[in-house]
Amino acid sequence: MLGGLARRVAFAEAARSRGAHLLVVDSGDLLFEKKEGVDPQRARLKAEILARAYKKMGADAINVGDLDLTHGIDFLEKQAREGLPLVSANLADSSSGKLLFPPYRVKQMGSLRIALIGLMGPEMSPQAQKGAGEKLTVLDPWVAARKILEELRGKADVVVVLSDMGMARDQRLAKEVEGIQFILGGHDGRFVSSAEQQGGSWLLQSYSKGMYVGSLRLRLEEPGRPIWDEGRASRLEQELAKLEGRIDAHRKAQQRGPNPSVERSLKQLEEQRIRLKQELEEARNKRDKGNRFSWRLEPLDPSLPEDQEVTRWIQEAGIQAD
């Protein structure tokens, strides 16, 4: 959890030093882990270091995940008062129904306005329920998303949801709620190297425990128009190359003598090749023009530089990087 933290801070600071328009976000479950028998004092100390490091990075929005409630809402509210940019569009006070944190933040990046919305799944884990007590309620995330998107109408060029709901619910959100360009999820801890499209939304995940940085590069030339994945053409090229190998193997098998099963399979593969070539041509035409993005998972391996100040914080706290 803390093993790559100093490298993550150095990575962000290096990107910012190159003059890039940079947004630093987190999809939730940043501060605490889903572990049994963890010493509470040690867990809080680690969470404080994480919060401190993300403030040093200049984080723009951090979604409140259910695990972040493990040590109670008071801890999170204290971090927010000290500058941690927590967001949640569906975490509310049980008695008043009032949201506990801002539902979103709108960041100006050059000429673009990017809205960052936080959403938590409708159910909390047992440890989150214990930490939250009866003070908190989780509002329906789909209703909350529609409400916020209506509020953002005309105020943002790109809408990004930071989701702690899991992939299946992210897919449902993309299908049922229009107006979201990107859903950045992390609750499942999946390794997802390429974007998945659902309707007008792109779904992305960046694995668990901070082992990777999910790097989303966006170029928007025509706000309001669809956004294309630059990496799709490369993936289709690789898929087509594998398919050509299979076709070649089937043709060699066909030369050894008549075989109806091989002939049927070869015909299906050749039809698939025609479809792939059409998709590849379309992807190539879109790759270098219009609205587009690229997505990459950057491994935070030990060879990368570390932020020495963050390293010192971890050492002084006496916490072994894990």
Q: Are residues 26 and 170 in the same domain?
A: yes
Task: Indicate whether 278 and 149 sit together in one domain.
Answer: no
Are both 90 and 176 inside the same structural domain? yes
Structural domain boundaries enclosing 259: 232-287
- Within a domain: 216: yes
As a whole number, the mean pLDDT across the chain is: 88
CA distance readout (Å), 274 to 73, 98, 242, 261, 281: 56, 55, 14, 20, 11
Looking at the structure, tell me whether residues 162 and 104 fall in a common domain. Answer: yes
Q: What is the pLDDT of residues 221-271, one digit of tens each?
A: 888 888 888 887 777 888 889 899 999 999 998 888 888 888 899 999 999
Region 46-74: what's the mean pLDDT?
94
Q: Return the H-helix or E-strand segment holding 42.
A: helix 40-57
Residue 322 lies in a domain: no
Q: What is the mean pLDDT of residues 40-51?
A: 92
CATH no. for residue 53? Answer: 3.60.21.10
Asked if residue 10 has pLDDT above 90, the reply is: yes
Q: Indicate whether 65 belongs to any domain.
A: yes
Q: How far apart are CA 61 and CA 115, in angstroms?
A: 10
The answer to whether residues 188 and 89 belong to one domain is yes
| Same domain, yes or no: 273 and 157 | no
Q: Does 54 lie in the same domain as 131? A: yes
The single residue listed with the structure tokens 């404080």 is: 48
Average pLDDT estimate for 37-66: 92
Q: For position 38, what pLDDT does the model report?
A: 77
Same domain for 181 and 211?
Answer: yes
Q: Which pLDDT belongs to residue 210?
A: 67
User: Does residue 302 belong to any structural domain of this protein?
Assistant: yes
Q: What is the pTM of this model?
A: 0.85
Q: Count structural domains, the chain.
A: 2
Average pLDDT over residues 114-142: 86
- Summarised one tens digit per residue, pLDDT across range 142-160 is 999 999 999 999 999 999 9
- Read off the tokens for 6: 């100093």
Question: Which parts of 138-259 fold into alpha helices (H)?
Answer: 141-151, 167-176, 232-255
Q: What is the mean pLDDT of residues 295-300?
A: 85
- CB burial of residue 10 (10 Å; 0-12, 13-18, 19+): buried
